[in-house]
Chain A
Amino acid sequence: MAILELERLSRHFEVRPGFVDRVVRRKPSSYIKAVEALNLTVGHNEILGIAGESGCGKSTTCTMVAGLLAPTGGDIRYKGDSVLDLKGAGLMEYRRRVQMIFQDPYESLNPRFRISEIVAEGPTALSLWDGDEIDERVNAMLNAVGLPHHKYADRYPHELSGGERQRVGIASALVMEPEMVIADEPLSMLDVSIRAGILDLFKDMQSQRHFSAIYVSHDLSILGNVADRLMVMYLGQAMEIGPALEVIRNPKHPYTRALIGAVPVPDPRTRRAIPNIRGDISKPIDPPPGCRFAPRCPHADASCGERFMELDTADPHLHQAACHKLDVINDG
């Protein structure tokens, strides 16, 4: 059984017009549909990657799964049970088991706390263990992420490099013994030469501790390296999902094709084709009901603006694209 299921998950943000427009002109509110009818299943021990550009809803999805933002529609089920009405001990348990690793290791650590205090904060707040055991587990955790505790436990964040800080971020998430880890662009603030080390740590920890993960990034080459399965989002809708290498090597959806075709290749001898895409990304304010990529899609016709295809994400081996025109595209 899947550990996490999102069923037609939506998050709309109301944009209220100004006072005069609202009262005098009776202008209705508009809505930014940041995430729309998103289906997603994350299996046990699976790393699911979410790729997409700014505004595609990947971070909004993460914050909803982490319980930091309430959805406006749909359901989030954890081990089969909805988490939306969780209260008290159930909510505490969910918060413990679903942990986040944040993007910016420079901003996400309290500068006045020592490293050991930062890592101990979660277990202490939830009184998971008694004081001595928390200390023990924190030290073990620091050692496990490559920060020997006798050297690092008493330091402050400003004494650490970016890579070391991100290791602290990983330690504070994993000390809670999560079953689900949400990593939102954990490498994007780090230098190239140390990224691989943090990526390895994440993968090592995952294979030792068997947590499931959602790994969000705009960097498709990193996702190809870390994720088992990859979902591509555009303006709040899922465009394509499938085994990560399969999606990157044989993208089906016109958007995924354009996105992958636009990634620069670290080899001066390669020549890339021009991505087949029109116009610029818009904002999902009161969007039409159909495919949100349609206005930029070279293959779109009138029907694309009317209907959207929801993906069935339960089968982890299935490679599908939310496009009605796949036959036409693949023939042409």
Chain B
Amino acid sequence: MAATTEPVLSIRNLGVAYETSQGPVHAVSDVSFDVGADEVFGIAGESGCGKSTLIRSLLRLLPNNGTMTAERCTYKGRDLMAMSDEAFRSTIQWQEISLVPQSAMASFNPVYRVGDQIIESMRAHRRMGRAEAWERAAGLFDVVGLQADLLRNYPHEFSGGMRQRAMIAMALSLDPGLIIMDEPTTGLDVLVQERILRRIREIRAEIHSAIILITHDIAVIAEMSDRIAIMYGGEIMELAPSVDLFENPHHPYTLGLENAFPSIRNVGKDLISIPGSPPTLVGPVESCPFEPRCPFRIDGCAAANPAVVDVGDGHQVRCLQTGDVARMRTLAREKSTWRS
């Protein structure tokens, strides 16, 4: 995987399993990627694909029945797997890797002023006086396009878009090397979303943080990311530079998603859905998770989980049929191909 400079985050064979009454659920399996220093790395996938579990495991926020394993998981060369929870919390969490959670509505405590909550997180992780922290928070509000006097307001006085911007300010507060944004604009109106995405693009140049952007919205991820990973059934199915992914999609799931996603620039287009529903991930991973829904499956697909194939220029695909991609692309445009 070609990150241009030394990666901020480097992951190899990361897996997360949840222990349940029906046996272990492999929510994430064999995930490997690097995130470069100034990069926006997008992870796209539908509900249950493991994208939220993946970031929770990176931040050590998994519930008690979840276990993370990885061959390698390093942040700026530091081995996160060898780090105790104590050390992780005092040196990495929030200071180096911060999170913009999915629901900013629910992420602020309604009975504290927004400013107090932002400086609380700063002062919990770094020695800093109240006045200094407040001043810093005011500067951050300016960066995300909110007036500094709003710091004195309570969360209910903020609109959804303002809360999301305040959340981004909070995530920026300690100059983290990596910000993870989990569906940062889901549930917001399109004009509000547009403004927040534009602000994120604008501050990229100023903050020098890498960003992992997680969303189910293919259009948002296409506009924002330098590279994109498509997840399905807990695994990365395809990973490529954004333009390359859209110009040269290889994986049948990616082809299916492109058919299914409407575009405002092409509103007359006939949308084609992928038949079937996502796997439950109970039990060991022994086949390609997309195999039951894949119109291009062959005998080998169910026999073993395909290995990742590099098709050039940092473009990776987890599929047995990468050699046959031209035929698949042609067939994938036909609605009849996707009948179950």
Q: Please report A residues at the B interface, Cβ cutoff 8 Å.
A: 53-54, 161, 163-164, 191-200, 218-222, 224-225, 244-245, 248-249, 258-270, 272, 274-275, 277, 280-281
Contact = CB atoms under 8 A, between A and B. Distances in A.
B225 interface: yes
Interface of B: 46-47, 159, 161, 189-194, 197-198, 216-220, 222-223, 225, 242-243, 245-246, 256-265, 267-269, 271-275, 277-278
Contacts of A266: 218-219, 222, 246, 258, 261, 263
A137 to B, nearest CB: 26
Contacts of A53: 189-191
A194 B274 contact: yes
Nearest to B268: A245
Contact of A264 (B197, B216, B260): B197
Given A53-B190, A53-B191, A191-B47, 13 more contacts: A194-B273, A194-B277, A195-B260, A195-B271, A196-B259, A200-B273, A221-B263, A259-B191, A263-B264, A265-B219, A265-B222, A266-B222, A269-B246
B166 to A, nearest CB: 14
B46 A262 contact: no
Q: Is chain B's interface secondary structure helix, strand, loop, or mixed overall?
A: helix
A232 B274 CA distance: 30
Contacts of B191: 53, 258-259, 262, 275, 277, 281
Nearest to A223: B267
A219 B262 contact: yes
Nearest to B47: A191
A164 B243 CA distance: 34
A222 B246 CA distance: 21
Contacts of B219: 263-266
Nearest to B244: A268
Contacts of A164: 277
B161 A191 contact: no
Contact of A191 (B159, B216, B264): B216
Given A193-B274, A195-B271, A196-B271, A262 B260 contact: no
A268 B243 contact: yes
Contact of B263 (A199, A267, A275): A267
Given A218-B190, A262-B194, A263-B190, A196 B260 contact: yes
A53 B256 CA distance: 29
A199 B264 contact: no
B238 to A, nearest CB: 14
Contacts of B194: 261-262, 264, 275
B257 A193 contact: yes
B275 A197 contact: yes
A7 to B, nearest CB: 29
A268 B263 contact: no
Given A200-B273, A221-B267, A260-B264, A267 B189 contact: no
Nearest to A52: B189
B198 A274 contact: yes
17 contacts: A53-B190, A192-B46, A193-B256, A193-B273, A197-B273, A200-B273, A219-B262, A221-B267, A262-B190, A265-B222, A266-B219, A266-B222, A266-B258, A268-B222, A268-B223, A274-B198, A280-B192
Contacts of B217: 264
Nearest to B218: A266
